[in-house]
Amino acid sequence: MGTAIFMVLMVCGYWYTSHDLSTRFKFKRSFGWDVYFLVALYGCVFVLQGILATALLWIVLFVISAALNAFPELSGADHYHYQMSFMNWTFLGIQAPVVIMLAFAVLFCLWRSNWARSARLDINGRRELYKHLSRANGVEGLLYQCMEKGDLAWVTLKSQRIYIGMVHTATFDGGEANNIVIVPMLSGYRDKKTLDLHIEHNYSAWYDAKGIDLVSEPQSALDFRKVILLSQVESLSLFDPAQVIAMGIHRSQEAE
């Protein structure tokens, strides 16, 4: 019986942490023993809810029995003890209250992680959730600001490669696959000795010349997006659009 309770506790905790958006972010950012304690914490919550629901069911049966016993002229001469029968009932060698308690725990877990309205966030709900979660992390906060306001991001890779562009999406719950997707406006590199910035490609000027934007057909700027692994990023910062345009024109004239 103890093994069954422990298994349901851990399975419910893992299911919830894997499906609930806000909890999944915490789960993906946990390491070592923190992962087990986080899973066990939520599993204990659902098992406790199952215990309370089973206790409530016992109280309902007790009230029904007491009511029937209080009016024997209506219910007959028998003495009713539904709550005791409930406690003594067994299912496959396990006491029925334990089985029902575990069933309640599983139902509460499924409802909270799959069926509840809060588990099905709309676009605005997801945006507010990401905004709240990103406050605790400087990188995520900066990327969220770029996605929300349309600010340009300056991404410097460990190879000294530079990308300046719009942040399209960012993934932070994939472990080593965490990445940033940007729509590049400029790209280049830093000189290893002088650290001067050399612009190689002026995407923004090329977009303008070809009439390409984020929604153009048959080709849009999203077709040129770059996926950058966070493990390859050395630094992130905001970039002033006016400065980007000025630098892009200057560099492209030098290249010509």
Q: Are 179 and 227 in contact (CB under 8 A)?
A: yes
**CATH number of the domain located at residue range(s) 130-255 in this protein:** 2.30.30.100
Cα–Cα distance for residue pair 8/12, rounded to 1 Å: 6
Rounded CA-CA distance 236/242 in Å is 18
Gap between the Cα atoms of 150 and 165, Å rounded? 10
pTM check: above 0.95 = no
Helix and strand numbers (H, E) in the chain are 10, 8
pLDDT digits (tens, 9 = 90+) for 185-242: 888 887 777 767 788 888 888 888 888 888 788 888 888 888 988 888 888 888 876 6
Q: What are the tens digits of pLDDT across the range 37-86?
A: 888 888 899 999 999 998 898 888 888 888 777 776 666 656 777 777 77
Rounded Cα distance, 23 and 188, in Å:
38
Token code pair at residue 231: 């493990």
Domain locations in the chain as residue ranges = 2-119, 130-255
Report the alpha-carbon distance of residue 211 to residue 179 in Å, rounded: 29
**Residues near 40 by Cβ (< 8 Å), separated by ≥ 6?**
9, 10, 13
